[in-house]
Amino acid sequence: MDNNDALATLAALAQPTRLAVFRLLVANEPHGLPAGDVATTLDVPQNTMSTHLGVLARAGLVHAERHSRSMIYRAQLDTLRGLMLFLARDCCNAHPELCTPLLAELACCPPAKATP
């Protein structure tokens, strides 16, 4: 990912509804959600949701697949991964051990808390 790709991706996410859509789709991986379910879940009119999904798709953050009469949207996790790596590329001035707490928080399953 280069600067222009990162800016396009961040710009697409820099709107509350689009950020909520992307987070919802990430939470529903690997199956994705029909566009109508996304709109209903977030209480957004379907025509407005279509516009938001289009912006996210152009930024490479979501992908749609036709299943019968529905469009199923899925998060493009490779784009998310690329953005995160781009942002962290120069992390901690070549001292990766300083980034370990951050990377642990980014894991899908946070570490279990120690029991006293």
The distance of Cα 108 from the centroid of its chain, to the nearest Å, equals 13
Residues 57-101: tens digit of each pLDDT: 999 999 999 988 889 999 999 999 999 888 877 776 766 666 666
SS3 for 56? helix
CA–CA separation, 61 and 55 (whole Å): 9
Cβ contact 65:74 at 8 Å: yes
CATH topology of domain 1-116: Arc Repressor Mutant, subunit A (1.10.10)
Cβ contact 27:41 at 8 Å: no
Cβ contact 100:60 at 8 Å: no
The predicted pLDDT at position 48 comes to 96
pTM of the entire structure?
0.80
The predicted pLDDT at position 51 comes to 96
Cβ contact 11:59 at 8 Å: yes
Domain boundaries, the chain: 1-116
